[in-house]
Structure 1
Amino acid sequence: MGQKLVGILLNAAMHRGVPRLKTGQESLESYEEAAAAYGLTPCFLKLSDIDTGSGYSIAYVKGPNGYRSAVIPTPDAIHNRAIYDPGSQGVERILRSGVQVYNTCNRYGKDQIHGLLEQNEGLRGLLPATSAGLAGLKEMMDSYSDLILKPCRGSIGQGVMRLSRNSPGHWTWSYLPGGSNSWASTAVHQDALPRALRARLASAPYLVQERIPLAELGGRPFDLRVTVQRGWGGEWQVTGLFAKRAAPGGFVSNIARGGEALDSIFVLEQAFSGPAAAGIRMSVLAHSLSIARELEKNLPGLADIGLDMGITGKGRIYFIECNGRDQRYGFRKAGLAGTWKESYRKPMAYARYLLDHPAQHNSY
């Protein structure tokens, strides 16, 4: 395998931090190690520096004195780690030039993902009851006593709310006030929902779902983050998983909202008996692969996702949501340094596979 270039596409703010090694949760060192293992040199790009006309780009490449900007031939394979909506003109321009961009789009609406999975009869049983908008909320309040409201385009738990019934017609509304990480709660009546709640639902598309009665550890609910990636050979593989436990008194497990990352084996064995824990883990892995294979049918370029999977106290498994740009740092926080490194190696292995088998990209 000869040394070849692989592009890592970053958003402009993160890209500016490359020469100062200030890239947030993205580990430049891990990219370098992973790429080297497959005979690749990583080049860190931003969209506006890719010139499809000339076939050259400006990128940060590591040298003896750190990262320096250089003009390079545009890599034939680019791993997208920036956030772009479906149909981004900039990304489409690169694809038309013949460059293989994987994780082409990594921002999908929760409603879109739910709709795609709902088409698969074998996966429907993993989906919580779901509706949308204010009309859907009123309908769901008649049928369920505990609801989660999630913005279709939200991330890291932003905008998530909960409605829990106390008695007929009387509910508690829990939400995060703007700029706060402390949950607020207020009593509401089903027939007179507060203007602020209605305004939130009117300001952006929302999913309304039955709240899954998640299994708990130490009185705090948890779910599982499963990283599913393509590596060498192009097939989907589960790289690893960890548990996310909600902060005390919270109901969302997002690490950015005070959640805690823990080893999934430890958490499952604490919450369930040994044989049950092992069975749940194996089922979660199998379901995660099935979900990835179903989504790829309609989402071109999909190659690297994080799935949130919930488990009830009785061991039933649910799909919660799909993250198109998986934040891998949870593995490190959970003490799973080897898996964290592997989550960087898989995308580089896939890049090498695409470079050596360029026709394969169009078949996925």
Structure 2
Amino acid sequence: MSYNYVGILLNAAMYRGIPRLKTREESLSNYQEAAAELDLIPCFIKIGDVDIRTGRTAAFIYRNHQYEQVSMPIPRVIHNRAIYSEAGPRHRIGGLLSRQVAVFNMNNRYGKDEIHKLLSADPYLRSCLPDTALFSPANLKHFMENHNDLILKPCRGSVGKGVMRLHQDGAGWSLTFPSHSRKNTWISQKLRGRELPGPLKQQLRRYPYLIQQRIPLAEVQGRPFDLRVTVQRGLTGEWGITGMFAKKSAAGAFISNLAGGGSAYPVPSVLAEIMSPHESAVVIAQVEHLALTTVRYLSRHLPLLADLGLDIGVTADGRIYFIECNGRDQRYGFKKAGMMETWKASYREPMAFARYLYNHTR
């Protein structure tokens, strides 16, 4: 095989940190190691440097034991690890496609409402979804009449930002939301009947939100957990399960996001605390089946997906639910769980898919 360049498209802030090796959750060395195994050379780019007209871009490449910025032709294959909310960058990615550049995971931020609507069209996948609707006063009234535990989440957002819980007990309804002044601290407020606080009403009018039945997640020592399943396409072009880890919520929290104080563990060790080895094996097989069915279905409807992280919930009696899909999987959870080989594999598979694209496209 000949050497080929593969572009890794990063947001501007992360790109600026490359010379100082300050790229937060992204491991440059994992990209280098994985690409070298496949006779690929990774080059790190940002969309603002891509010149569609000339077909060239600035890029960081590892040379002489450091990252050097060079000018080079746009790589023929690019793995998108950036998230854009503005029209300009998205338009420029469209320009890359017009130049026959293969950009996989070209959109990393599909709305939770979009994904839910897509999955709801499939009978099996619909059976694995919690009751969900777009927020409106009428929908909220309906959900509060039919469920006693609800989640309100932004249609677009990540790492648990903006997520709130509405819960009913013997004393009535309570709202639990993150503190604005203290990190990873939650505040609970009793409601007057079913009346939401004024600031929350304003927030719900300002941004699109989903109302969702809260899944009764299994708990370990009072801490609910769910599973992050990394599903990727590799050297054959087919989807496969790279690995999964369990995310336990912080004490007193109802979300398990690592950025919100949650912690990561190997799945077997967590399931062993609540079920038998046989039950654990059955649950893992069901989770893998749901994950693969989900990504295969989504990839028939969304362009060139190849690298996704799915959050899947497990109840105490072993029932599984799809929670949400992450287009920019935060792979460092494997590292936090002590799963170092799986962490490296989560970088290797996208590079293998890049090699697949080089081998099978003009």
Calculate the TM-score normalised by the size of structure 2.
0.96
Measure how far apart 1:177 and its partner are: 2.7
Q: Is the 8 A contact 1:105 1:301 kept in 2?
A: no
What residue in structure 1 maps to residue 2 of structure 2? 2
Q: Is the 8 A contact 2:52 2:92 kept in 1?
A: no
- Residues 191 and 287 of structure 1: is their aligned pair in 2 closer, same or farther, counting only changes over 3 Å? closer
User: Which 4+ residue blocks in structure 1 deviate beyond 6 angstroms?
Assistant: none
Percent sequence identity over matched residues? 51
- Residues 164 and 22 of structure 1: is their aligned pair in 2 closer, same or farther, counting only changes over 3 Å? same
2:331 maps to a residue whose letter is: R
Summarize the alignment of residues 23-172 of structure 1 with structure 2, pairs less than 5 Å apart: 23-85=23-85, 88-135=90-137, 136-167=139-170, 170-172=172-174
2:127 maps to a residue whose letter is: G
Match status 1:218 vs 2:218? no
Distance 1:232 1:112 in 2: 29
Measure how far apart 1:179 and its partner are: 4.4
Q: Is the 8 A contact 1:56 1:71 kept in 2?
A: yes
Measure how far apart 1:52 and its partner are: 2.1
Distance 1:321 1:22 in 2: 29
2:272 aligned to which of 240, 246, 269: 269
2:303 aligned to which of 278, 300, 305: 300
Question: Structure 2 stretches of 5 or more lacking a match?
Answer: none
1:73 maps to a residue whose letter is: P
Secondary structure (helix, strand or coil) at the match of 1:51 reads: coil
2:203 aligned to which of 188, 200, 205: 200
Q: Which whole-Å deviations, capped at 9, do the CAs of 1:178-202 have from their partners, x for residues lacking one? A: 2432100010034422212212211
What residue in structure 2 maps to residue 20 of structure 1? 20
Secondary structure (helix, strand or coil) at the match of 2:124 reads: coil
1:55 maps to a residue whose letter is: G
Measure how far apart 1:282 and its partner are: 0.7
1:79 maps to a residue whose letter is: H
Distance 2:174 2:254 in 1: 13
Q: Which whole-Å deviations, capped at 9, do the CAs of 1:65-97 have from their partners, x for residues lacking one? A: 400111112110000000035971111111111
Q: Is the 8 A contact 2:186 2:253 kept in 1?
A: yes
2:239 maps to a residue whose letter is: W
Distance 2:127 2:86 in 1: 28
Match status 1:209 vs 2:206? no
2:318 aligned to which of 315, 319, 343: 315
Distance 1:86 1:106 in 2: 13
Calculate the TM-score normalised by the size of structure 1.
0.96
Q: Which whole-Å deviations, capped at 9, do the CAs of 1:222-242 have from their partners, x for residues lacking one? A: 000000001011111110000
Aligned residues: 358
Q: Is the 8 A contact 2:109 2:327 kept in 1?
A: yes
Measure how far apart 1:34 and its partner are: 0.4
Match status 1:329 vs 2:338? no
Distance 1:298 1:178 in 2: 38
What residue in structure 2 maps to residue 362 of structure 1? none
* Alignment root-mean-square deviation, CA: 1.3
Distance 1:284 1:85 in 2: 31
1:64 maps to a residue whose letter is: N
Q: Is the 8 A contact 1:86 1:108 kept in 2?
A: no
Distance 1:236 1:331 in 2: 19
Distance 1:52 1:339 in 2: 36
Secondary structure (helix, strand or coil) at the match of 1:318 reads: strand
Distance 2:86 2:229 in 1: 23
Q: Which whole-Å deviations, capped at 9, do the CAs of 1:79-125 have from their partners, x for residues lacking one? A: 00000359711111111111110011000111001000000011111
Secondary structure (helix, strand or coil) at the match of 1:271 reads: coil
Question: Structure 1 stretches of 5 or more lacking a match?
Answer: 360-364
Measure how far apart 1:55 and its partner are: 2.0
Q: Is the 8 A contact 1:85 1:105 kept in 2?
A: no
Secondary structure (helix, strand or coil) at the match of 2:237 reads: coil
Distance 1:115 1:179 in 2: 35
1:98 maps to a residue whose letter is: Q
- Residues 223 and 191 of structure 1: is their aligned pair in 2 closer, same or farther, counting only changes over 3 Å? closer
Match status 1:229 vs 2:232? yes
Distance 2:23 2:352 in 1: 22
Moved more, 82-91 or 291-300: 82-91
Q: Is the 8 A contact 2:173 2:194 kept in 1?
A: no
